[in-house]
Structure 1
Amino acid sequence: MSYLNHITGYREDILSSRSIVKKGNFALIEPDGLVKNVIPGFEKCAVTILASPKMGASFVDYLVTMDQGGGFLKGFGGEGIEAFLYILEGRVKVKNEDKEAELTEGGYMYSPEGKKVSFENVGEAPARAFLYKRRYNRIEGHEAYTVWGNINDVPFTPYEGMEDVRVKDFLPSATDIGFDMNFHILSLKPGACHGYIETHIQEHGAYIYSGEGMYNLDNHWIPVKKGDYLFMGAYSLQAAYGVGRKEEFAYVYSKDCNRDVEI
């Protein structure tokens, strides 16, 4: 086990961290201090587990850096498990039994339960990806199916009527209840914000890939920026302001949906 940012040895200052973990409620995880995990199946990869049931999430999020030829070649996911892969940078060959595609930055593939997905860095430079898995919640008469594409080809739409807050959807969950989750991108221009502080049963795992923001996590306003990861549990209050000068505040995030609560 070693550190993801390759910084080793003593620091010149006292040990400190911006990370906050409130199990089952919310978490902010900054890049500094993240460790690499050895996980069977990942070859020539640096893998960090960001959220998991041990944190209180119903899903697992990973940050994966693949050296040339690296990846998960034996098939990730499997019986009862749905998976989603989003390419942050690089050139990656991705396939399941339905589809094979070469994805670049912004490329993604959703693989439904029972259909393992394999991926390999086919470029010369390292590739980086955001990886997700979750146990699929099946309902009679409906099922999810393989979806792939590049989110850069999907236009932004105003988020709840706000022109300076924009959203993209990866999956057709809004019209097909066979899907029990979705991935989105939310982008806020400097000064823009949510229309209200949200309180809902859905969970989120969010990777910030651009800009800076102030995030309300369970009514604590916390500064966040590019490279940070956020977990928001069920009923954890949440909202954000976009701040900074150079980039929009933007993040990719998951959300469970389309299912009743089991008791």
Structure 2
Amino acid sequence: MTRYAFAPGGLPPQSARMDERAVFTEAYAFLPASTMRDITTSALPFWDATRAWVIARPMSGFSETFSHYLMEVAPGGGSDRPDTDPGVQGVIFVSDGRIALTIDGTAYDLGPGGYAYLPAGARWSLRATGDDPAKFHWVRKRYQAVDGIDAPDAFVTSDEAVDPVAMPDTNGRWATTRFVDPADLRHDMHVNIVTLKPGAVIPFPETHVMEHGLYVLAGKAAYKLNRDWVEVEGGDFMWLRAFCPQACYAGGDGPFRYLLYKDVNRHAPLP
């Protein structure tokens, strides 16, 4: 079974050396897994037996379009009123354990690799099932409706059910698991999985209008963030504002994979 890195929780011993990799700059933030401990969790309204690591949130002058939570729900816990903002859409991606997810009256059972898109205004609920805590990502973005374009529908799928699409001229060494058709303009955000095989590269500094959240699901790499090269591995999170240059060299002995958020398919808001 595919394994996905997640927040370690706990607390390092008093004898541990401080991890000095965490950084927040004008162009990007890097949150290593070691920062995601018990004392950095948050509670959320109407969620029981649940804790969340809020690893991205809108911030004026930085990244402004999304929030990203790492959710840990004890068996039987969850919510029947999970999101109090009807204008917000979301994506759930399960890393470990199992959840019972109901969307507009339809029930789904999701395990590791399970993926669900939750449209703005959908009625949904979530409960952790099984004997172990459910651990999942929850990415939220306010939906930008466009007159003449229908809103997208809810859907549920999984990492294993979607074939990765290789980037051109890479011999399959760099590929993207796209859960939404890029040509579907109903969607104003994509949450995909990018996979680079050991030795694969992003060979130029990508610089674009989309904001990014990149959570490393597996593997390791050297990642270029603005002017810096940063070593990243499973459980680390990279948060990039628009136009931050980025590139990558994948290393290690297995695929380097990350869950990628970006805002798409809309005009830039003008004041």
The separation in 1 between residues aligned to 2:178 and 2:74, in whole angstroms, is: 29
Counterpart residue number, 2:136: 129
Corresponding residue for residue 3 of structure 2: none
* 1:21 alignment partner, one of 21, 24, 27: 24
1:118 aligned residue:
125
Is the Cα contact below 8 Å between 1:214 and 1:221 reproduced in 2?
yes
TM-score of the pair, normalised by structure 1:
0.92
Given candidates 1, 7, 10, the residue that maps to 1:6 is 10
Match of 1:255 in 2: 262
Is the aligned partner of 1:39 residue 2:44? yes
Counterpart of 1:49 in structure 2 is 54
Structure 2 distance, partners of 1:199, 1:46, is 34
Query: What is the CA distance between 1:161 and its match in structure 2?
Result: 3.0
Is the counterpart of residue 218 in structure 1 residue 226 in structure 2?
yes
Encode CA deviations 1:84-136: one digit per residue, 9 max, x unaligned: 11111111111221632111111111111111432111111111101011111
Residue of structure 1 equivalent to 2:68: 61
Change (3 A) 1:18 1:116: farther
In the TM superposition, residue 82 of structure 1 has moved relative to its aligned partner by: 0.6
Q: How does 1:102-181 map to 2 (within 5 A)?
A: 102-142=109-149, 143-162=151-170, 163-172=172-181, 174-181=182-189
CA pair 77-183 structure 1, distance change in 2 beyond 3 A: farther
Distance 1:109 1:220, change over 3 A: same
Q: Which moves more between the two structures, 216-225 or 12-21? A: 12-21
CA distance in 2, matches of 1:238, 1:63: 24
Q: Return the alpha-carbon distance in structure 1 between the equivalents of residues 117 and 232 of structure 2.
A: 28
Whole-Å Cα distance in 1 between the matches of residues 79 and 221 of structure 2? 33
Cα distance in 1 between the residues matched to 2:125 and 2:133: 17
In 2, Cα distance between equivalents of 1:14 and 1:88: 28
Percent identity (aligned) = 25
Question: How far apart are residue 71 of structure 1 and its match?
Answer: 1.8
| Cα separation, partners in 2 of 1:165 and 1:49, compared to 1, 3 Å | same
AA matched with 1:150: S
Once the 2 structures are TM-superposed, how far is the Cα of residue 14 of structure 1 from its aligned partner?
4.6
Match of 1:90 among 97, 108, 111: 97
Q: Secondary structure at the match of 1:197?
A: strand
CA contact (8 A) 1:4 1:46 kept: no
Q: For residue 21 of structure 1, report the CA deviation from its aligned partner.
A: 1.3
How many residue pairs end up in the alignment?
257
Deviation string for 1:127-146 (max 9, x for gaps)?
11010111111101112111
- Kindly state the Cα deviation for residue 50 of structure 1 after the two structures are TM-superposed: 0.3
In 2, the alpha carbon distance for the partners of 1:213 and 1:116 equals: 39
Structure 1 runs, 4 residues or longer, greater than 6 Å off: none
SS of the residue aligned with 1:194?
Answer: strand
Given residue 37 of structure 1, which amino acid in structure 2 is its aligned partner?
A: S
SS state of the match for residue 196, structure 1?
strand
TM-aligned CA deviation for residue 66 of structure 1: 1.2
Q: CA deviation at 1:58?
A: 1.4
Partners of 1:217 and 1:225 lie apart in 2 by: 15
